[in-house]
Structure 1
Amino acid sequence: MKQVIRKGLKEIIVDEVPDPPVAPHHVLVRPLYSLISSGTETASIHQEGVLKEVAENPSHLRKIWEALKINGPVRTTAEVIAKFSEYAVLGYFGAGVVVDKHSTVTDLQIGDRVAYGGEGTGHGEAILTGRNLVARVPDEVSFEHACFATLGSIALHAVRIADINLGDRVAVIGLGLVGQLISQLVRLQGGVVIATDLRPERVELARRLGADHALPGDASVIEATNSLTEGKGADCVIIAAASKSEAPCHLALQLCRDRGRIVIVGAVPINFPWEEMYLKEVQLFMSRAYGPSSYDPAYERRGQDYPFAYVRWTENRNMEEFLRLVAAGRVDLAPLITHRFPLEEAPEAYKTILDPQSGSLAVLLRYPAASEEKPAETFIPQRKVAVRKTADQRAEFRVALVGAGNIARWAHLPSLKKVPGVKLRAVYSTNGARAKSYALRFGADYCCSDYEEILRDPEINVVVITSRNQYHYSQALAALRAGKHVFVEKPMALTEEECRELCEAVRDTGLHLAVGFNRRFAPLYVEMKKRLAWRASPAVINCRMNSPGISGSYWMADPSIGGAILGEACHFVDLMYWLLESESVEVSAYCLPTGKQDPIGENNIVASFRFADGSIGNLTYCTAGSRTSGGERVEAFAQGIGIIVDSFKSLTICGTSKRKRSDLWARKGYDEQMRFFFRDILQETNNVADVMDGTRATIYCRKILESASTFKPIRIKMEL
């Protein structure tokens, strides 16, 4: 499909990317029209260049410095350079017809006319969006007007937050699309609208659309508002402006009466003079997106609706209500549309929006489906896109990347490029734009959004899996059964049964399966293992990991898919086994109280292990710390020696004397790990963590969680 892309910092292109596949609780929509958000979308187009952007957001430099300390100068520089050609999807609302749906969606049918929203949906010929972000379009509403459903629900939610009563004087600051819609909705709610903007043509438009009072946004607006309110000020002020200045907030405070209300829906710096806010005792409200369910993944992605009796107006119900008002002729949208462009001319559409002389307001993109009589019936998904005209078949190993996430671009793809005889054949991701971006950057022959394309390709003989944890097992199993060697990021699997199936598949096929336990190849841990090999008695190991990033709504924090323990702490249970070369026989663990959203108790654990050789180990894994609390620290003690590795960068050896070795950059062993993986395939050796190592890590972590939940020590047996 064709999709609108921001390439790098500011270039807008239309490129061919794979169509998205359907997902649980989602539908696939073929748009006829989509609406460009002149505020949200243009804010991500850095037309004044990188220096201006960095000057206005110095936090970018801090991010680069933090990345430099963790990943070193070479890979950090490569990532910074890549930002100038990286693909990003623009857009998040439009209207079209349903062309496919997951079996979990039962109340929509193929061919239904719908409006859609959702962050990251984009402007493309096929849009995947959650069922709760799709609203049926009444027959009386055109697709052009249905595009406004998302913006309309944002405006509707702001009006609800404002709690407007009959006769309330309501000032609306900023008369862009959302401001114009708010002005119309306030009148429907019984309020008296005082609309103002710096642009005279928008003030005039608000007047034509029914604003009771439309005022130019100059110094006279304060005096005029006082005159219209008998010197008392507005009962409520809604800020719908987008500005980098604090002026809209200051103006709102001046317009607002004593004990009045200010509602912020626009993107503005929030900075009010304390004394004036205090003396007026003004109430300040934030209006978040288009309903109480906004940004809730359970609602938007997993299809869990809010109970009607308790939450009357969700995102979806706001979208439906706005479309009802449009169908009834209560909201006038036609005058808001200033420009229409075919999809192929999207770059020109963005130029028009960014040109202050164009007078643009609502700019629509028209899709080829708009010319078809039955667009749902003619839809044929294209889930594979060629990137190179001719494929390179000389390489001994032709690799498919499965999952285009951060670990792939920071670690595994750069490592693959360093291994002789290895060629990246394909990139698979359900995110078509990201798949295309990675394929272009790392030289793949094609990209796809259908995993079956990878499995069917006879040229691919190795699959590198870096997808989300819950997909590792099924993707690895399918690849083995398709006759392909597998490198899978940890965790290899989430259950013992999944581990058993993978072990059987490796045994039956004779193929290699390696698990991404990179610490086995990190130079400082290699040195630690060498020193421990000299011991003549049991050892004591203490591992401490602080990972505050795995918290809140971040997917890896979800205990239902393993959480931080199966997803990350597995590194350290593998590390202890590898350092000691001894199986654990028992674990006793405790976690923070469970049932809380943050910190998630199951992700904050202290676990003590007893090993077969008499050694003991302790793992402290927490997500409740701060980013300045340090990262990982591993201490090992045996008779007459102590060894400490801190965050991959320092090694301290304490024997008869104390020696310390420090590296400027963390060296995590990714390159060495990948090189040994391919060597293992060629030489039938076993240097990289294999299917049994992956099984062990999963079993150990599951026993940790079992002990923490039962408050009992748990015996560990490696039996499959």
Structure 2
Amino acid sequence: MKGRRIMMPAKRSATLEDFELDETLTPNQILLKTHYSLISPGTEGAGYTGLESGTRFPHGSGYTAIGEVLKVGENVTKCAVGDLAFCYSPHASIAKTEAVLLAFKPPLDIDEKLVPFVRMATVAMTSLRVSSAEFGDTVAVIGLGLVGNSASQLFNLAGMKVISIERVPRRLEIARQCGIQHLINPDEEDALERVLALTNGEKTAVTVEAIGNPRLVEVAYQLTGTKGEVILLGSPRGEYVTDATAILNYSHSIGLGAITLRSAHEWVYPTMHTGESKHSLERNSRLVYSLMCEGKFKVEELLTHVIDPEAAQSAYDGLTDRKDEYLGVIMDWT
């Protein structure tokens, strides 16, 4: 079967190429005709620029899409031919995958092109799941990309006082439209002073680093109160040379807060829900989709561009170099 897919042949290069896909399925696979896929600015951006450790070219890209089920393996019961399926699949017009997170009988309750944003929200939800934050606690989120915005919304919906920190003015405005009340641009004011003012000098109970910039981990510690938590939501990327002892003392010394450092890597939870674990990416996906349908999780505000896959190069350049214009970019394969 002939298809088209996005490939990255070299650093800062994204091309649309033809390929052949063997339609033979394993028992748990489906064949998906992709309708829409979403660019992940963080993970894919790091692969595009070569910032991701171990990046080798050429490589494919993308990991969240929705489309029509064309064929199912003999063990597949979640969906049937003709259903719409939300999958962890790449930027490609056709794909084979076992990772069917949600399946729907059309029509959907929301615009179909918004469904791939579920993945960004489930990535972000891990920071809420692993934290000990409770109703009324103050949580700071550093970074308002798709994951940081999603984390801010989810902590807000869970009853926390959210302070979001971002340098890009447009992303701050989008967060405001998504219901985030307390916003800080560190280029315009001192973030620590503002956090102290908003918390009566106590600092935050939890600070989430949602960018993956290792230089910001120390900033996160500085914003966090005694016996609070710093949560690594963004995957740390790039080299950072510093005095590790000074940073470790934020966790060790009670005088510096005795702050706990936690991982919020999404894969700490199983992909599919089997009942062996309370949480799974599948269950989180169902919850996020429900919040979107109820209008509680704002997603239309995150969509800035819908592009033809042939325009992939300009989209990746925009997400890398023009962050005040680009945030949520959907590829339209229909």
TM-score (norm 2): 0.88
1:142 Cα deviation after fit: 1.8
Do structure 1's residue 6 and structure 2's residue 8 form an aligned pair? Answer: yes
For 1:95 and 1:307, the matched residues in 2 are separated by 23
Partner of residue 347 from structure 1, selected from 281, 291, 313: 313
In terms of fraction of residues, the more helix-rich structure is 1
1:290 Cα deviation after fit: 5.4
CA 1:8/1:200 → structure 2, altered by over 3 Å: closer, same or farther?
Answer: closer
1:17 equivalent in structure 2? 19
CA 1:116/1:362 → structure 2, altered by over 3 Å: closer, same or farther?
Answer: same
Alignment of 1:239-388 (within 5 A): 239-243=209-213, 246-268=214-236, 273-279=247-253, 280-289=257-266, 292-293=269-270, 305=272, 307-308=274-275, 310-356=276-322, 359-368=325-334
For 2:141 and 2:13, the matched residues in 1 are separated by 33
For 2:149 and 2:49, the matched residues in 1 are separated by 26
CA 1:115/1:247 → structure 2, altered by over 3 Å: closer, same or farther?
Answer: same
Alignment of 1:49-64 (within 5 A): none
2:196 equivalent in structure 1? 226
SS at match of 1:152: helix
TM-score (norm 1): 0.42
After superposing the two structures, state which structure 1 stretch, 141-150 or 341-350, moved more. Answer: 341-350
- Note the alpha carbon deviations across 1:146-185, whole angstroms, 9 max, x for none: 0112111111122111233110100001110001011111
1:291 Cα deviation after fit: 5.3
Do structure 1's residue 89 and structure 2's residue 63 form an aligned pair? Answer: no
State which structure, 1 or 2, has the greater radius of gyration over its C-alpha atoms.
Answer: 1
Does the 8 Å contact 1:3/1:124 carry over to 2?
A: yes
Partner of residue 110 from structure 1, selected from 81, 87, 105: 81
Does the 8 Å contact 1:153/1:290 carry over to 2?
A: no
Does the 8 Å contact 2:14/2:312 carry over to 1?
A: yes
Does the 8 Å contact 1:291/1:313 carry over to 2?
A: no
For 1:275 and 1:176, the matched residues in 2 are separated by 29
For 1:115 and 1:93, the matched residues in 2 are separated by 7
1:276 Cα deviation after fit: 2.7
The unaligned stretches of length 5 or more in structure 1 are 48-52, 61-82, 295-304, 369-720
Alignment of 1:539-558 (within 5 A): none
CA 1:32/1:221 → structure 2, altered by over 3 Å: closer, same or farther?
Answer: same
For 1:39 and 1:324, the matched residues in 2 are separated by 25
For 2:127 and 2:164, the matched residues in 1 are separated by 15
CA 1:209/1:215 → structure 2, altered by over 3 Å: closer, same or farther?
Answer: same
Do structure 1's residue 182 and structure 2's residue 182 form an aligned pair? Answer: no
1:126 equivalent in structure 2? 94
Higher relative contact order at CA 8 Å, sep ≥6: structure 1 or structure 2?
Answer: 2
CA 1:291/1:109 → structure 2, altered by over 3 Å: closer, same or farther?
Answer: farther
SS at match of 1:45: helix
CA 1:258/1:20 → structure 2, altered by over 3 Å: closer, same or farther?
Answer: farther
SS at match of 2:250: helix
2:29 equivalent in structure 1? 26
SS at match of 1:91: coil
For 2:31 and 2:101, the matched residues in 1 are separated by 10
SS at match of 1:273: helix
Do structure 1's residue 45 and structure 2's residue 16 form an aligned pair? Answer: no
1:87 Cα deviation after fit: 3.5
Does the 8 Å contact 1:136/1:320 carry over to 2?
A: no
Does the 8 Å contact 1:33/1:366 carry over to 2?
A: yes
For 2:75 and 2:60, the matched residues in 1 are separated by 26
1:20 Cα deviation after fit: 4.4
Q: CA RMSD in A?
A: 2.3
1:351 Cα deviation after fit: 2.3
Partner of residue 208 from structure 1, selected from 177, 189, 198: 177
1:208 Cα deviation after fit: 2.3
SS at match of 1:140: coil
1:347 Cα deviation after fit: 2.1
Alignment of 1:443-462 (within 5 A): none
- Note the alpha carbon deviations across 1:376-407, whole angstroms, 9 max, x for none: xxxxxxxxxxxxxxxxxxxxxxxxxxxxxxxx
The unaligned stretches of length 5 or more in structure 2 are none
Does the 8 Å contact 1:174/1:242 carry over to 2?
A: no
Does the 8 Å contact 1:339/1:364 carry over to 2?
A: yes
For 2:58 and 2:26, the matched residues in 1 are separated by 22
CA 1:254/1:358 → structure 2, altered by over 3 Å: closer, same or farther?
Answer: closer
Alignment of 1:647-686 (within 5 A): none
Q: What number of residue pairs does the alignment pair up?
A: 319
For 2:113 and 2:268, the matched residues in 1 are separated by 23
1:137 Cα deviation after fit: 4.6
CA 1:332/1:291 → structure 2, altered by over 3 Å: closer, same or farther?
Answer: farther
SS at match of 2:155: helix
SS at match of 2:69: strand
For 1:211 and 1:363, the matched residues in 2 are separated by 22
Do structure 1's residue 237 and structure 2's residue 203 form an aligned pair? Answer: no
CA 1:4/1:273 → structure 2, altered by over 3 Å: closer, same or farther?
Answer: same
TM superposition outliers: structure 1 runs of 4+ over 3 Å: 269-272
CA 1:306/1:145 → structure 2, altered by over 3 Å: closer, same or farther?
Answer: closer
Does the 8 Å contact 1:198/1:217 carry over to 2?
A: yes
Does the 8 Å contact 1:156/1:318 carry over to 2?
A: yes
For 2:14 and 2:186, the matched residues in 1 are separated by 32
For 1:24 and 1:8, the matched residues in 2 are separated by 35
Does the 8 Å contact 2:235/2:265 carry over to 1?
A: no
CA 1:137/1:163 → structure 2, altered by over 3 Å: closer, same or farther?
Answer: farther
Partner of residue 156 from structure 1, selected from 109, 115, 125: 125
